[in-house]
Amino acid sequence: MANLIGIDIGVKGALALLSPNGDLLEVVDMPTLDDGPKGRPAVNPPLLAELVYRWHAGHAFIELVGARPGEGAVGAFAFGRSRGVVEGVLGAAGIPATHLTPPTWKRLVGIPAGTDGAKDAARSEAIRRWPAQAGLFARVKDDGRAESALIAVAGLTKLTKITTGGAA
């Protein structure tokens, strides 16, 4: 089995690279530039592509999310653009991608459902799993890093269950 990528999409998201054993090899914030409409941050396709190609992963797991209640049209469009850029770069790199809903990946890694404290719960779980790399998840704004790493763990769990014949 090859290394795999976990992706928390969006301009405040991140990407994590895991080994087939679940070792955290690298985690980076989503590559963005403030070149979107009216100078808003946007996922930068060439920077994302450079990262994805360098990692040589065999599979990617992406958080499946949509527009949030009360979100305006500009925010929803920007989020959709981020998703399209991520899927396009993975497709061009020939990396198969699987979407995982937040309840699915959170259940697979042991984070309780619900929104209250979910971001800190993800950071806490990432620190518990990779204590030698706790500094990667130390700041409140590192929740995207933690979530991307845990999305990769959930994907690895699903792949392992499939290859061993267990229920995913």
CB 168 within 8 A of CB 162: yes
- The 10s digit of each residue's pLDDT in 86-117 is 999 999 999 999 999 999 999 999 998 776 77
Distance of alpha carbon 74 from alpha carbon 88, whole angstroms: 21
pTM strictly above 0.75? yes
Residue 147: predicted pLDDT: 96
Query: Which domains, from first to last, does the chain contain?
Result: 4-164 (3.30.420.10)
For residues 64 and 105, the answer to whether their CB atoms sit within 8 Å is: no
Strand partners of residue 26? 17
CB atoms within 10 A of CB 116: 8
Cβ 16 vs Cβ 148: under 8 Å: yes
pLDDT at 39: 83
Q: What local confidence, expressed as pLDDT, does residue 56 receive?
A: 94
Residue 4 near residue 10 (C-beta atoms within 8 A): no
Mean of the pLDDT values across residues 135-156?
A: 97
Residue 10 banded pLDDT, cuts 50, 70, 90: confident
Q: What is the pLDDT of residues 35-57, one digit of tens each?
A: 877 888 999 999 999 999 999 99
- Identity (one letter) of the amino acid at 80? G
Helix/strand/coil percentages in the chain, nearest 5:
50, 15, 30
Q: What's the whole-number mean pLDDT along residues 58-62? A: 97
3 state SS of 71: coil
